[in-house]
């Protein structure tokens, strides 16, 4: 019980700090680069709806499709946004292929991921110490979930332009980008916002240069970086050079 309360406090404090520092700066930069509030957003990694709430504040009529494979969080989001006709919640995961993939649900649900933890990670040791749990107890549950690619979803469901694709999937961002750019589609994507880890928390560590390279090759340029209050990670904002 005490551990769960401690995890809740850490999660809540992290959110409050981001609310005061991260989101105001992100809002200014997104509006500057879009020119208008977003009308269509793909939210990859819905968690508890932090990004949904943020985008609704920019435009309460924004069409938002949010992907959240964590079973409990999917139920939470569908209940929370049941009365919002402009919001769609999907329990599918996003990856570089369509099929099934093992998902690792973390006790600190902000960091659940398709990526395997690196149990020798110094950052993981620090994080579990803050949370008050043993590193071998941080994974709550493992289960397979259905995954799709962003390109297949866009081709099957979206005919309009997409203002923002937000990707926060705890180390699996590169695979999401591979699945986005593996085929062509008619929709124009204006901005891509994604999280980039600079730590060693996952076995398959992806560098900033790999993220930057795949986006540059597909005509997206980096316009800003946003450091989070807790941890060695940041959000990157890329703009489509062809629009």
| Residues 169-198 pLDDT 10s | 989 999 999 999 998 887 899 999 999 988
Q: What is the pTM of this model?
A: 0.91
> CA dihedral in degrees (218, 98, 91, 44; nearest 10)?
-10
Question: 203 near 117, Cβ under 8 Å?
Answer: yes
Task: Name the DSSP class of 132.
Answer: T
> CA dihedral in degrees (89, 91, 95, 96; nearest 10)?
-90
pLDDT of residue 122: 83
With cut-offs at 50, 70 and 90, classify the pLDDT of residue 2: low
Tens-digit pLDDT profile for residues 153-168: 999 999 999 999 999 9
Our CA angle for 171, 128, 196, nearest 5°, is: 20
Distance CA 203, CA 117 (A): 6
Please report, for the chain, the start and end positions of each structural domain, with discontinuous segments joined by +: 1-240
- Looking at domain 1-240, its CATH superfamily turns out to be Vaccinia Virus protein VP39 (3.40.50.150)
What's the token pair of residue 193? 């916002």
**Nearest residue to 77 via CA among 44, 107, 47, 104:** 47
Residue 233 phi, psi (nearest 5)? -145, 165
């Amino acid at each position: 019980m005490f551990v769960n309360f401690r995890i809740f406090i850490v999660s809540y404090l992290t959110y409050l700090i981001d609310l005061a520092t991260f989101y105001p700066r992100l809002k200014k930069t997104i509006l500057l680069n879009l020119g208008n509030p977003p009308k269509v957003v793909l939210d990859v990694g819905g968690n508890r709806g932090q990004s949904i709430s943020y985008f609704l504040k920019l435009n309460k009529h924004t069409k938002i499709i949010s992907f959240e494979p964590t079973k409990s969080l999917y139920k939470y989001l569908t209940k929370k946004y049941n009365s919002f006709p402009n919001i769609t919640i999907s329990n599918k995961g996003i990856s570089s292929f369509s099929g099934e993939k093992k998902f690792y649900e973390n006790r600190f649900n902000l960091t659940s991921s398709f990526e395997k933890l690196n149990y020798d990670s110094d950052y993981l040791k620090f994080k579990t110490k803050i949370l008050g749990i043993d590193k071998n107890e941080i994974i709550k549950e493992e289960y397979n979930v259905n995954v799709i690619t962003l390109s297949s979803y866009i081709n099957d469901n979206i005919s309009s332009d997409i203002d923002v694709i937000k990707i926060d999937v705890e180390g699996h961002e590169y695979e999401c980008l591979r699945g986005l750019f593996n085929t062509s589609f008619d929709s124009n994507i204006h901005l891509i916002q994604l999280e980039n880890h600079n730590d060693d928390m996952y076995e398959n560590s992806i560098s900033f240069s790999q993220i930057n390279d795949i986006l540059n090759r597909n005509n997206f340029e980096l316009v800003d970086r946003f450091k989070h209050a807790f941890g060695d990670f940041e959000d990157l904002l890329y703009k489509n050079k062809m629009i």
